[in-house]
Amino acid sequence: MQDGRLSTRHLLGIKYITTQDIELIFSAAKQFKEVINRPIKKVPSLRDVTIANLFFENSTRTKLSFELAEKRLSADVVNFSSSSSSVKKGETLLDTVNNILSMKVDMIVMRHPAPGAHYFLSQHIDAQIINAGDGTHEHPTQALLDAYSMQEKVGNLRGKKICIFGDILHSRVALSNIFCLQKLGAKVRVCGPATLIPKHIDKLGVEVSYNLEESLRWCDVANVLRIQLERQDIKYIPSLREYSMYYGITKERLDKLDKEIVIMHPGPMNRGVEISSDVADSDHSIILQQVENGVAIRMAVLFLLAKDRNDLAA
């Protein structure tokens, strides 16, 4: 992994990286996973690197996961949180970030509600940028940790059938998952009520289904997405009650299948809505492994990007 280099300076989205990049990140993550399971979980790789975590939208696990990854690589870390509304009213994104960069920050990990905010920023600033979610566009580290977790469970993803269930329209995870899984050779399907599926998503080369039972029978892995009520400015489904009845993944539905499928969820879960507790906590579920792998994947991404920076400096 010392010889490997990413093809990009930033991680703006899975769309902008290659299959080789993904494989390189996975191979680094494997080594970092071993590191974080040691009694002493810290390595000095990013000792001279200062990272700012800028969260313009709420986050618990992604923020924590990035911060842990950064600290385990011995980076200096500063955090900034702000609700999008206050930023919209006052300082521009560019001004906020330039202010922070003046304090000699090397890398930025950012979550922002506007699709393309990271791309926009990359056109105007010098620091390296990692996308921790931009609106309904991409969430690349989530897709990487999802694919990595799937590979751990079912092996090489080439030809494997992965179905993403739920609110595709408001999900950045779905889009990044689609791009990532396709690059790794998997067959991808999306399933949910038609109001929550972007009209032209089939043009990305994914199958579209509105039938939950049939899609469960089709897939090897079910990635269940959260209903993003906070991102729905208008009502796309009549009620959560109806959604859970017709699109909720329940033990009863899984028991009807003649095979075992892997259940994933990027969190946070709405238990009893898109996924029932007995499924979330079952042996089929790898939800907690996803979280563990998240730290390793983020360490790998940070390490590889910082390495690129050091090479350039040298």
Query: How many angstroms separate the CA atoms of 135 and 151, rounded?
Result: 27
Question: Of 198, 229, 270, 291, which one interacts with another protein (CB under 8 A)?
Answer: 198
167 touches another protein by CB under 8 A = no
**123 CB-near residues (< 8 Å, 6+ apart):** none
Query: How many angstroms separate the CA atoms of 197 and 202, rounded?
Result: 10
Query: How many angstroms separate the CA atoms of 261 and 221, rounded?
Result: 5
The region of 34-42, 100-108, 197-205, 243-251 touching another protein under the rule CB under 8 A is: 197-205
Question: Of 33, 57, 111, 135, which one interacts with another protein (CB under 8 A)?
Answer: 135
Phi first, then psi, for residue 61 (nearest 5°) are: -75, -40
The region of 85-93, 145-153, 241-249, 293-301 touching another protein under the rule CB under 8 A is: 85-93
- Bridge partner list, 129: 108
Query: 156-165 burial string, b = 16+ CB within 10 Å, else e?
Result: ebeebbbbbb
Question: Of 53, 136, 209, 215, which one interacts with another protein (CB under 8 A)?
Answer: 136
Binding mask 42-71 for another protein (x = CB under 8 A): ------------------------------
9 touches another protein by CB under 8 A = no
CA 74 to chain centre: 23
88 touches another protein by CB under 8 A = yes
According to DSSP, the β-strands at 262-264 and 221-224 are parallel
146 touches another protein by CB under 8 A = no
229 touches another protein by CB under 8 A = no
Question: Of 92, 277, 282, 310, which one interacts with another protein (CB under 8 A)?
Answer: 92
Tell me which amino acid residue 37 is. Answer: N
The region of 103-111, 118-126, 220-228, 237-245 touching another protein under the rule CB under 8 A is: 118-126
What are the structure tokens assigned to 48, written together? 């001279």
Q: At what angle do helices 172-183 and 19-36 cross, to 10 degrees?
A: 110
Question: Of 60, 102, 123, 239, which one interacts with another protein (CB under 8 A)?
Answer: 123
- Please check whether residue 276 is in contact with residue 250, taking contact to mean a CB–CB distance below 8 angstroms: yes
Please, where are the H alpha helices in 140-211?
Answer: 140-154, 172-183
199 touches another protein by CB under 8 A = yes
Q: Closest separation between CB of residue 123 and another protein, Å?
A: 8
The region of 39-47, 117-125, 208-216, 277-285 touching another protein under the rule CB under 8 A is: 117-125
Query: How many angstroms separate the CA atoms of 36 and 14, rounded?
Result: 25
203 touches another protein by CB under 8 A = yes
Burial class (CB in 10 A: 0-12, 13-18, 19+), 255: exposed
What are the structure tokens assigned to 219, written together? 């897939």
The region of 159-167, 183-191, 193-201, 271-279 touching another protein under the rule CB under 8 A is: 193-201
Considering only residues 273 through 312, tell me which ones interact with another protein, judged by CB under 8 A: none
Q: Closest separation between CB of residue 198 and another protein, Å?
A: 5
Q: Which is nearer to another protein, 70 or 167 (CB)?
A: 167
Q: Which residues bind another protein (CB under 8 A)?
A: 15, 88, 92-94, 112, 114-117, 119-120, 123, 134-138, 172, 175, 198-201, 203-204
